[in-house]
Structure 1
């Protein structure tokens, strides 16, 4: 039984190396006025987690190898988080835009990666069962790009297979991988909660109220 357990563990580790998850959290949160990643979310037991803790929990639904791409508020966010990722990826030129952060995240992964999952830190209402299904679909078809369906466009959460990386690395400024995913005709998946992101204090008040109704622990964190 011990040998069998070791085999299963090794297999899982291999999968993590092949499918790491990147959380893009390098921005300055200028529209919000303070670091969104450190916004506090209350759990049912009275404990508090940050918005970035929540995003790391989402990443763990996709992979055990979760990397946080950080910049403007690093290392403060590192010390305030209760959940720690597999790796922090600081970006010195984070202010050049999301394309720089995405490139830094991709360059941080090893040669065995078949693709990367990409999430952002301000979508705490993502449905965890839909995320799990998204992760399993990417593993079944590792060469196919996939992304959340936003109606007219694909967006995060997204899965970028390795063959798409050169196009993603060529992006500049405040451009994410949406245009690359659209050009590649990425498979679009329904992930409830993608439209509920946090840009302003008004967004945060509305989403915090929604979280208090549904319960953060039941909604987001791995069992």
Structure 2
């Protein structure tokens, strides 16, 4: 999970925003566990406070020394932390709390069924995160620099794009957070139970 950014547009650490079910990071760790039981959080700004304020702990906290470089540094650190037996890695962000759980579980199943095929969320024809990066794709990911994610690598590799409701609802600004928080209040676990 990429959670190392400074949240400049938010003006404060977005990983610590309270969702009603814990912090935004707590929610993201729960989402990541739908795809893999081993969740590693790449950290930078906001660490170690996010570790101590969170109610849900990952399998591993991974401080990224050069986190100020951007997403590429977190991707490199995450891949470098994996063992020789890893067939690939799921990449998720800490700021997409409205991702559809069933779609995340389906992505996890797809990656296990065809582990050599990259899989990515569809952003109107462009691949993005959440994503599955098979091991053969890692050299291209490790070559990325700056605040660039893996979208261009996934596109060039012909990643299978899947619809994951909620990918466009990320939290970057206070306005984003107000809209997402309102939707969370309407779609939380308690609300879902009452709709039966």
TM-score (norm 2): 0.96
**1:188 CA displacement:** 0.2
In the alignment, the residues of structure 1 paired with residue 179 and residue 63 of structure 2 have an alpha-carbon distance, to the nearest angstrom, of: 31
Task: Select the structure of larger CA radius of gyration.
Answer: 1
Q: Stretches of 4+ moved more than 4 A in 1? A: 216-219
In the other structure, the counterpart of 2:8 is: 30
Name the SS of the counterpart of 1:42 in structure 2: coil
In the alignment, the residues of structure 2 paired with residue 78 and residue 215 of structure 1 have an alpha-carbon distance, to the nearest angstrom, of: 23
1:62 aligns with one of 14, 31, 35:
35
In the alignment, the residues of structure 2 paired with residue 146 and residue 198 of structure 1 have an alpha-carbon distance, to the nearest angstrom, of: 23
CA displacement 1:159-213 (0-9 Å, x = unmatched): 0000000000000001100000000010000100000001110000000000100
In the other structure, the counterpart of 2:69 is: 96
Show structure 1 runs of 5+ residues with no match.
1-22, 44-48
Report the CA distance shift for 1:157/1:30 in structure 2 as closer, same or farther (over 3 A): same
Is 2:165 aligned against 1:165? no
**1:216 CA displacement:** 4.8
In the alignment, the residues of structure 2 paired with residue 216 and residue 88 of structure 1 have an alpha-carbon distance, to the nearest angstrom, of: 27
Report the CA distance shift for 1:215/1:95 in structure 2 as closer, same or farther (over 3 A): same
1:215 aligns with one of 172, 188, 192:
188
**1:217 CA displacement:** 6.6
TM-score (norm 1): 0.84
Is 2:174 aligned against 1:196? no
The answer as to whether partners of 1:42 and 1:216 remain within 8 angstroms in 2 is: no
In the alignment, the residues of structure 2 paired with residue 113 and residue 218 of structure 1 have an alpha-carbon distance, to the nearest angstrom, of: 38
Report the CA distance shift for 1:54/1:218 in structure 2 as closer, same or farther (over 3 A): farther
Report the CA distance shift for 1:166/1:198 in structure 2 as closer, same or farther (over 3 A): same
CA displacement 1:30-71 (0-9 Å, x = unmatched): 01000000000114xxxxx00000000011101110000000
Show structure 2 runs of 5+ residues with no match.
none
In the other structure, the counterpart of 2:20 is: 42
Is 2:104 aligned against 1:131? yes
In the alignment, the residues of structure 2 paired with residue 108 and residue 56 of structure 1 have an alpha-carbon distance, to the nearest angstrom, of: 18
In the other structure, the counterpart of 1:78 is: 51
In the alignment, the residues of structure 2 paired with residue 62 and residue 168 of structure 1 have an alpha-carbon distance, to the nearest angstrom, of: 20
RMSD of aligned Cα (Å): 1.1
In the alignment, the residues of structure 2 paired with residue 130 and residue 96 of structure 1 have an alpha-carbon distance, to the nearest angstrom, of: 31
In the alignment, the residues of structure 2 paired with residue 79 and residue 165 of structure 1 have an alpha-carbon distance, to the nearest angstrom, of: 31
